[in-house]
Amino acid sequence: MPSFSPLLVVAVALVDADGRVLLQQRPPGKAMADLWEFPGGKVEPGETPEAALVRELEEELGIETHASCLAPATFASEALGEKHLLLLLYVCRKWKGMPEARHATALQWLRPAQMYALDMPPADLPLIGLLEALL
Ligand SMILES: Nc1nc2c([nH]c(=O)n2[C@@H]2O[C@H](COP(=O)(O)OP(=O)(O)OP(=O)(O)O)[C@@H](O)[C@H]2O)c(=O)[nH]1
């Protein structure tokens, strides 16, 4: 039987006052370069998923939020090379600061229905419809 090691990733739909969601474009040179994704990243050993997301949002976008502002929304489960990706998606409507692209090539705010036109990682595709229904 093949064995897969799990890769736990947290990501967030940051939702603005107009119901738009922030996506970031992965930089060249990284796996899945140029694809549009939800901000987030890998959960480090010893971290809670919420602490990992608070850390990633500070590192990637320079914004501050708190675990209590992160509402679990849905998840994706998808083969990723030798690993198996478990992507936990949260929704966040409250943060401090203006998101800036510290790691990403670009940022854009858009409604979930507009995401179908973008190139996104395969794991994210089923999340779009769920966000459409949720927001
Ligand atoms: N942040 C994020 N990662 C995603 C999404 N969809 C998806 O398949 N992934 C995958 O989840 C993994 C997250 O890794 P990452 O490279 O962004 O995380 P990181 O910042 O902790 O990584 P690094 O320290 O290796 O640079 C990547 O394999 C990425 O392709 C998404 O919407 N957001």
Tell me which residue range forms the domain holding 90.
Answer: 5-134
Ligand 1 center to residue 40 CA distance, Å?
A: 7
Q: What is the mean pLDDT of residues 45-74?
A: 98
Q: Quick check: 41 and 33 in contact, CB under 8 A?
A: no
ipTM: 0.94
From atom 3 of ligand 1, which residue's Cα is the shortest distance away? 41
CA of 16 to the centre of ligand 1 (A): 22
Q: How far apart are CA 3 and CA 105, in angstroms?
A: 34
- CATH code, 22: 3.90.79.10
pLDDT, tens digit (0-9, with 9 covering 90-100), for 17-26: 999 999 999 9
Chain-centroid distance of CA 49 in Å reads: 12
Residue 4 reports pLDDT greater than 80: no
Dump pLDDT digits (tens) for 107-117.
Answer: 999 999 999 99
Ligand 1 pocket (Cβ < 6 Å) reads 9, 11, 31-32, 37-38, 40-42, 80, 85, 87, 121, 123-124
CA distances from 127 to 88, 95, 115 (A): 10, 22, 10
Domain count across the chain: 1
Asked whether the predicted pLDDT for residue 1 surpasses 70, the reply is no
38-59 average pLDDT score: 98
Average pLDDT over residues 42-50: 98
Q: What atom in ligand 1 is closest to the CA of residue 122?
A: 8
